[in-house]
């Protein structure tokens, strides 16, 4: 698959070099034998993340979240964790594998996003587009929010499952666009296909004139898409804190799953309003489901699902070993 940009080797090298000294970050500055109870993280504008919900519900115990800004993408978020700019980050499974394979000492501890029949990403074209099949995408432009992440892997897998050769897949051109610009880019013909999810998907579909080519849920069914990771040295020094965080997030997932939708939206609204970051709550009404399988428990399948794409992308050479990348040790809900 042809991409218009890629992560430079020098930038990745900087990530790995910084990871060596990551333990010197402010959140790790505690007394001998004393675990930190503050976790620096990046949030998401106009949204409530699972850790933020867990903290508001009291599921994190004595652990306190320290917001340092908002993330621009999953790969950026976990790179910040690897370099010690934050203490944890979340990204698409393939991005986690890519960072770990490059030598970054990170470990996934809990799933934090996923797709189901209510919450999914769709690949949309104009109603009158001649694109009907995977083969019709050869030589076409597809808008994604970032490279080397969820949408690219889903598209690559769909193309491969529909009979395209690696050479044909490389002829599908990925264009990086902010999600807020994707719908208009499709409507204006600047790109042929755009990936839409959440409220952006709802608004686009309601506006008419677009149709779904396929979706990740249609391709895989319900599945976990990404994990929160910590640096290995941070886990070794702060196991109780990591356990409180991981189990708290797992409890927040189950709270969202079992709580009436209106109550969830009301809680999200309260959290955003009281943190006073100048955000909007108008899109919260479109929230549908947590999307994450039971209690965020990670399985081998969460990783092996992307085995073929990881190999085609040159991230790994041969079958992956999922246990290298994750642990459920700190998720008390994984123990029944």
> Does residue 1 sit within a domain?
no
Q: What is the pLDDT along the chain (336 residues), one digit of tens a residue?
A: 654 334 334 344 444 444 444 444 444 444 556 999 999 999 999 999 999 999 999 999 999 999 999 988 899 999 999 999 999 999 999 999 999 999 999 999 999 999 999 999 999 999 999 999 999 999 999 999 989 899 999 999 999 999 999 999 999 999 999 998 999 999 999 999 999 998 899 989 999 999 999 999 999 999 999 999 999 999 999 999 999 999 999 999 999 999 999 999 999 999 999 999 999 999 898 899 999 999 999 999 999 999 999 999 999 999 999 999 999 999 999 986
> Does residue 251 sit within a domain?
yes
What H or E segment, with its residue span, contains residue 279? Answer: none
| Other residues' Cβ atoms within 10 Å of the Cβ of residue 157 | 19
Start-to-end Cα distance in the chain? 42
pLDDT of residue 31: 52
pLDDT of residue 248: 98
pLDDT of residue 16: 47
> Does residue 2 sit within a domain?
no
Residues 210 and 248 in one domain: no
Contacts of 66 by beta carbon, 8 Å cutoff, 6+ apart: 27, 38, 39, 40, 41
Question: What pairs with residue 92 in β-bridges?
Answer: 226
pLDDT of residue 87: 98
pLDDT of residue 176: 96
> Does residue 4 sit within a domain?
no
Please name which of 12, 68, 15 lies closest in space to residue 40, comparing C-alpha atoms. 68
Residues 228 and 330 in one domain: yes
Residues 146 and 272 in one domain: no
pLDDT of residue 215: 97
Residues 247 and 186 in one domain: no
**CB-side exposure of 315: number of CA atoms within 13 Å?**
23
Final residue in a domain of this structure, among 220, 249, 282: 220
Residues 105 and 34 in one domain: yes
Residues 16 and 112 in one domain: yes
CATH number, residue 59: 3.40.190.10
In whole angstroms, how far apart are CA 69 and each of 40, 44, 65, 77, 169? 9, 8, 12, 11, 36
Residues 202 and 240 in one domain: no
Q: Backbone phi, then psi, for 141, in 5-degree steps?
A: -105, 135
Residues 135 and 214 in one domain: yes
Residues 191 and 296 in one domain: no
Q: How much is the pTM? A: 0.87
Q: Give the residue carrying structure tokens 């010690």.
A: 84
Residues 226 and 331 in one domain: yes
Q: How far apart are CA 83 and CA 260, in angstroms?
A: 39
> Does residue 316 sit within a domain?
yes
Structural domain boundaries, residue 167? 121-220
> Does residue 109 sit within a domain?
yes
């Amino acid at each position: 698959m042809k991409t218009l940009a890629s992560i430079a080797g020098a930038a990745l090298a900087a990530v790995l070099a910084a990871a060596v000294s990551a333990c010197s970050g402010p959140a790790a500055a505690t007394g001998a034998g004393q675990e930190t109870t503050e976790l620096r993280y990046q949030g998401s504008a106009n949204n409530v993340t699972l850790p933020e919900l867990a903290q508001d519900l009291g599921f994190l115990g004595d652990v306190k979240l320290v917001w340092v800004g908002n993330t621009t993408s999953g790969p950026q978020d976990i790179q910040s964790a690897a370099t010690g700019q934050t203490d944890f980050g979340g990204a698409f499974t393939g991005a986690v594998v890519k960072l770990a394979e490059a030598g970054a000492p990170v470990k996934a501890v809990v799933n934090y996003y996923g797709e189901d029949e209510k919450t999914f990403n769709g690949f949309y074209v104009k109603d009158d587009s001649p694109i009907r099949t995977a083969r019709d995408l050869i030589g076409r432009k597809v808008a994604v929010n970032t490279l080397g992440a969820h949408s690219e892997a889903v598209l690559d897998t769909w193309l491969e499952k529909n009979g395209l050769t690696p050479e044909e897949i490389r002829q599908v051109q990925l264009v990086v666009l902010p999600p807020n610009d994707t719908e208009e880019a499709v409507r204006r013909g600047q790109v042929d296909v755009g990936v839409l999810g959440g409220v952006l998907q709802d608004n686009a579909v309601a506006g008419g004139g677009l149709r779904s080519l396929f979706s990740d849920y249609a391709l895989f069914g319900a599945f976990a898409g990404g994990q929160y990771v910590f640096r290995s040295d941070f886990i070794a020094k702060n196991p109780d804190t990591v356990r409180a965080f991981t189990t708290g997030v797992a409890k927040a997932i189950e709270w969202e799953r079992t709580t009436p939708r209106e109550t969830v939206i009301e809680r999200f609204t309260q959290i955003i309003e009281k943190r006073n970051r100048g955000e909007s709550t108008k899109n919260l009404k479109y929230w549908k489901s947590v999307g994450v399988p039971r209690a965020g428990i990670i399985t081998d399948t969460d990783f092996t699902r992307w085995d073929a794409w990881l190999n085609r992308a040159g991230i790994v050479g041969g079958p992956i070993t999922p246990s290298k990348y994750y642990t459920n040790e700190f998720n008390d809900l994984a123990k029944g």
